[in-house]
């Protein structure tokens, strides 16, 4: 309505958001709000990673062909699947970056369950072997961002286990918020980020990052023309030249949301993904996060800020993270049951 497109277009786009975001969140609130169900969810992610790992190794060796052989098409440009002297798997997901984040999530969960003692063995296999195998697969998926997030997540786990301070979790929560605030206000310019990327990851990855950050600057400038509710859908938030040529090569989930839905939508996205982790932090002290009984809950919860960090540069939406957000948002730690005292019978009463 704010963009003059009418109620029909508004409802049409809203329906798509309900399917992509509302439905998995609703399922999470219904079925994954207890320790037992979140443990099943954590092991489901781990098992999903174990099923995907052999397919990843096949495509690492043979190139991404499985989707083409079965469905008859490549999900994205085939030229983007060759990285660091080898193939980057896509399997059945939309892009190799999406596979990398999925394998990172499975590796992260497996590592946390093993470190905390919640999973000493998995189907007679030592936990360290399961964790190591998944971490190695993640690195060999050749998704730079996923690999960085994996090591960042492992560092956070170490900080939680040994420092037992909420600062570690708070920094992880506020990192994406600080980045978005800095990029929209131009406090964080693109130049220093690109130069550091060139130093640590090479000129190829730095060039890719430069394209993304340049697009961010252009889209942020246009989004600020309609800062409250954005430009709506249908590509109206994209930047075009005077001749009408599309100059936008957009990747980041946050800038897509900011451009199309404004600060209102961007705030809703951050609350949806990061809010549940903050609520869990208020409910359970960090020194208990590494307890074996709570490890599955905290493992899946910490996937949310890692997913949001990936959303700063990519837009690989997987409903599993929205489902986790719904489950953690509705999670309440149940107190232990009180001891039931059996009433005495009349015959058991003491004599007067």
**In which residue are the tokens 């060759």 written?**
82
256/124 Cα distance (integer angstroms): 45
Confidence of residue 246 (pLDDT cuts 50, 70, 90): low
311: left (phi over 0), alpha (psi -120 to 50) or beta: alpha
Q: What is the pLDDT of residues 328-343, one digit of tens each?
A: 999 987 665 555 455 5
Confidence of residue 79 (pLDDT cuts 50, 70, 90): confident
Closest CA to 226 of 249, 258, 256, 254: 258
| C-beta separation of 296 from 42 below 8 A | yes
More confident residue, 79 or 312: 312
Phi, psi of 330, deg, nearest 5: -95, 5
Q: What is the pLDDT of residues 85-140, one digit of tens each?
A: 889 999 999 888 899 999 999 999 999 999 999 999 998 899 999 999 999 999 99
- Helices 144-162 and 166-184 sit at what angle, rounded to 10 degrees? 140
Predicted confidence at residue 343, as pLDDT, reads 53
Q: What is the pLDDT of residues 35-62, one digit of tens each?
A: 999 999 999 999 999 999 999 999 999 9
Residue 185 token pair: 């206000």
More confident residue, 192 or 268: 268
Q: Which residues contact 335 (CB under 8 A, 6 or more apart)?
A: none
Q: Which residues contact 226 (CB under 8 A, 6 or more apart)?
A: 2, 3, 262
**pLDDT of 247 over the 70 cut:** no
**pLDDT of 323 over the 90 cut:** yes
Per-residue pLDDT, averaged over 77-87, amounts to: 82
Per-residue pLDDT, averaged over 7-19, amounts to: 87
- Residues paired with 82 in a beta bridge: 87
**pLDDT of 161 over the 90 cut:** no
Phi, psi of 213, deg, nearest 5: -70, -35
**pLDDT of 233 over the 80 cut:** no
Predicted confidence at residue 248, as pLDDT, reads 64
Percentage of the residues of the chain whose pLDDT score is greater than 70: 91
How many Cα neighbours within 13 Å face the side chain of 114?
Answer: 21
**pLDDT of 349 over the 50 cut:** no
**pLDDT of 350 over the 50 cut:** no
């Amino acid at each position: 309505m704010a963009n003059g497109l009418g109620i029909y277009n508004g409802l049409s786009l809203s329906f798509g958001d309900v399917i992509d975001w509302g439905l998995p969140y609703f399922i999470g609130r219904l079925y994954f709000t207890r320790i037992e169900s979140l443990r099943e969810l954590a092991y489901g992610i781990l098992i999903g990673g174990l099923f995907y790992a052999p397919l990843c190794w096949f495509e690492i060796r043979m190139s991404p062909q499985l989707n083409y052989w079965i469905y008859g098409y490549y999900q994205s440009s085939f030229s983007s699947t060759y990285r660091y002297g080898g193939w980057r798997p896509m399997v059945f997901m939309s892009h190799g970056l999406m596979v990398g984040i999925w394998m990172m999530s499975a590796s992260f969960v497996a590592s946390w369950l093993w470190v905390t003692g919640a999973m000493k063995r998995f189907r007679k296999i030592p936990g360290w072997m399961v964790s190591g195998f998944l971490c190695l697969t993640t690195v060999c998926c050749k998704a730079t961002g996923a690999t960085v997030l994996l090591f960042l997540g492992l560092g956070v786990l170490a900080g939680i286990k040994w420092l037992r301070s909420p600062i570690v979790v708070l920094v992880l929560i506020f990192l994406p918020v600080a980045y978005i605030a800095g990029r929209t206000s131009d406090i964080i310019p693109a130049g220093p980020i690109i130069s550091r990327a060139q130093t640590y990851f090479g000129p190829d990855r730095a060039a890719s990052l430069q394209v993304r950050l340049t697009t961010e600057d252009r889209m942020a400038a246009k989004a600020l023309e309609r800062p409250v509710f954005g430009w709506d859908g249908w590509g109206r938030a994209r930047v075009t030249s005077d001749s009408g040529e599309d100059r936008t090569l957009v990747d980041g989930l946050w800038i897509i949301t900011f451009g199309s839905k404004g600060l209102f939508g961007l705030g809703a996205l951050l609350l949806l993904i990061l809010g549940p982790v903050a609520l869990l932090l208020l409910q359970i002290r960090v020194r208990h996060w590494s307890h074996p009984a709570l490890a599955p809950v905290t493992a899946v919860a910490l996937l949310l800020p890692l997913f949001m960090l990936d959303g700063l540069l990519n837009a690989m939406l997987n409903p599993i993270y929205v489902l986790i957000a719904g489950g953690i948002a509705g999670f309440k730690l149940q107190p232990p049951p009180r001891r039931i005292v059996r009433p005495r019978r009349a015959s058991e009463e003491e004599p007067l």
